[in-house]
Amino acid sequence: MITLKRLVKEWKIWLLLILIIYSLLAIHPFSPTNGVLLEGVKYPAPSQLKAGQVITLINDLSVTDLVSFNQALSTIEPGDVVRVSYQEEVIPYRYEVRQAPAFLATEKANETNIGLIVGKAPSSNLNFGLEIVGGTKVLLTPNRTLTVEESDNLIEVLKQRLNLFGLKEVPVNFVTDLSGNQYVRIEFAGASEDDIKLLLEKEGNFEGRIGNDTAFTGEEIVDVCISGVQCTMTIQPVYVSSEGSQVVMYSFEFQVDLSAEAAERFANLTSNLSIGECTANGCYLEDNLELFLDGDLIQDGSLRLPESVKGEVLTSARVTGMRGTMKEAQDEMRKLQAILQSRSLPVSLEIVSVETLSPSIGEDFANNISLVLLVAVIVVALIIGLRYRSLKVSIPIILIILVEVVSTLGMAAVIGVTLDLSAIAGILASVGTSLDDQIIITDEVLSGDDERSKSVKKRLKEAFFIVVTAFTAGFVSMVPLAFAGAGIIKGFAITTMIGLVIGVLITRPAYGRICELLFKD
Partner 1 sequence: MLEGAWKYYEKEYKKLLLIPLIVLLFFGGVIVYTKFSTGEFFAKDISLKGGTSITFYVDEPLTGVSEWLSDSWGEDTQLIVITNPLGGFKGYDFRVGTQLSVDEVKAQLSVLAGREVLHDEFSLGLQGASIAQSFFNDSIIIILISFLLMGLVALYYFKSVIPAVSITFSTIADVIVVVGVLNLLGEPLSVASIGALLMLIGLSTDSDMLLAANIIKKKDEGLINRLKRSFKTELTMSLAAITTATVMYLLTNIEMIKSIALILLIGSISDVLNTWVLSAGLQRLYMEWKRK
Q: Give the footprint of partner 1 on residues 337-396 (CB under 8 A).
A: 351-362, 364-365, 368-369, 371-372, 375-376, 379-380, 383-384, 387
Cβ of 21: how many Cβ atoms within 10 Å? 10
Q: Which of 60, 77, 277, 451 binds partner 1 (CB under 8 A)?
A: 451
How long, in residues, is the chain? 521
Smallest distance, partner 1 to C-beta of residue 168, A: 22
Among 85, 151, 163, 422, the residue binding partner 1 under the rule CB under 8 A is 422
Q: Which of 322, 399, 425, 518 binds partner 1 (CB under 8 A)?
A: 425
Residue 178 interacting with partner 1 (CB under 8 A): yes
Question: Cβ of residue 202: shortest distance to partner 1, in angstroms?
Answer: 18
Judge whether 335 and 321 are in contact, CB under 8 Å: no
Residues 6+ apart with CB under 8 A from 386: none
Q: Is 183 in the site for partner 1 (CB under 8 A)?
A: yes
| Beta carbon of residue 6, minimum distance to partner 1 (angstroms, whole number) | 31
Considering only 124, 141, 259, 316, the residue that binds partner 1 (CB under 8 A) is 141
CB of residue 357 vs partner 1: minimum separation in angstroms? 5
Kindly state whether residue 401 participates in binding partner 1, applying the rule CB under 8 A. no
Nearer Cβ to partner 1 (11/465): 465
Task: Report if residue 67 touches partner 1, rule: CB under 8 A.
Answer: no
Q: Is the bond into 359 cis (omega within 30 degrees of 0)?
A: no
Among residues 96 and 443, whose Cβ is nearest to partner 1? 443
Please, which of residues 453-472 interact with partner 1 by CB under 8 A?
454, 462, 465-466, 469-470, 472
Angle between helix 508-518 and helix 421-446 axes, rounded to 10 deg: 30
- Least separation, in Å, of the C-beta of 382 and partner 1? 9
Task: Encode 315-377 in three state secondary structure.
Answer: CEEEEEEEECCHHHHHHHHHHHHHHHHCCCCCCCEEEEEEEEECHHHHHHHHHHHHHHHHHHH
Where does this chain touch partner 1 (CB under 8 A) — which range of 94-102, 272-280, 331-339, 431-439? 431-439
User: What is the rounded CA–CA span in Å between residue 256 and residue 254?
Assistant: 7
Q: Are 167 and 39 in contact (CB under 8 A)?
A: yes
Give min distance, CB of 404 to partner 1, in A: 15
What distance in Å separates the CA atoms of residue 362 and residue 242, rounded to the nearest whole number? 56
Q: Which of residues 115-134 bind partner 1 (CB under 8 A)?
A: 131, 134
State which residue, 62 or 447, has the beta carbon closest to partner 1: 447
Q: Which is nearer to partner 1, 275 or 479 (CB)?
A: 479
Contacting range for partner 1; rule: CB under 8 A; set: 201-209, 220-228, 281-289, 479-487 = 479-487
Contacts of 68 (CB under 8 A, 6+ apart): 61, 62
Q: Which of 243, 262, 264, 341 is nearest to 301 (CA)?
A: 341
Closer residue to partner 1 in complex, CB, 347/466: 466
DSSP per-residue string spanning 243-269: TTEEEEEEEEEEEEEE-HHHHHHHHHH
From residue 363, how far is each of 39, 132, 192, 200 by CA, in Å?
Answer: 20, 6, 18, 30
- Touching partner 1, residues 148-177 (CB under 8 A): 177
Q: Which residues contact 457 (CB under 8 A, 6 or more apart)?
A: 516
| Residue 480 touches partner 1, criterion: CB under 8 A | yes
The amino acid at residue 269 is: L
211-270: contacts with partner 1 (CB under 8 A): none
Q: Please work out the total of residues on this chain that contact partner 1, with binding judged by CB under 8 A.
A: 76
Distance of alpha carbon 432 from alpha carbon 428, whole angstroms: 6
